[in-house]
Amino acid sequence: EDRFVFSSEVLFSVGSANLGSRGKTEISKVADIINQIADEIPTGIDWILRVDGHTDRIPFSGIGKDYKDNWELSQARALSVLRFLRDEVDIPANRLAAAGFGQYQPIDKRDTPEAYKTNRRIELKFTEK
């Protein structure tokens, strides 16, 4: 489709926004694709790669105690991935944006563990500025 989607469990520990080694490996796997796509975008299109953080709707438990709520955690996770893309994958900072959506953009609205897992994610999406 039009985005890369990563499960939060693959990228982060519970309640953390520190991108783990497995997460870095997974993000790095798509880095070549991201750079290839970026190289093929016509020069007249002013694009960005938006990093969107999403959580489930289970109230934030305070694990890690660095974030007030799911919204803050989702933003911190998006920013962590953005910084990795900038610092390790060399995507220019002016081509990156981070957004945190908390639990407010669910893919699956059911109240099940599977739905919660689906909703905890990071999405990378090319878009115009």
Chain segment 5-63, per-residue pLDDT in tens:
999 999 999 889 999 999 999 999 998 899 999 999 999 999 999 999 999 999 877 66
pLDDT of residue 32: 87
Mean pLDDT of 65-82: 93
pLDDT of residue 31: 87
Cα–Cα distance, 68 to 60 (Å, whole number): 8
Is the Cβ–Cβ distance between 123 and 77 less than 8 Å?
no
pTM for this prediction:
0.93
Residues near 122 by Cβ (< 8 Å), separated by ≥ 6?
A: 5, 6, 8, 11, 51, 52, 53, 54, 77, 78, 81
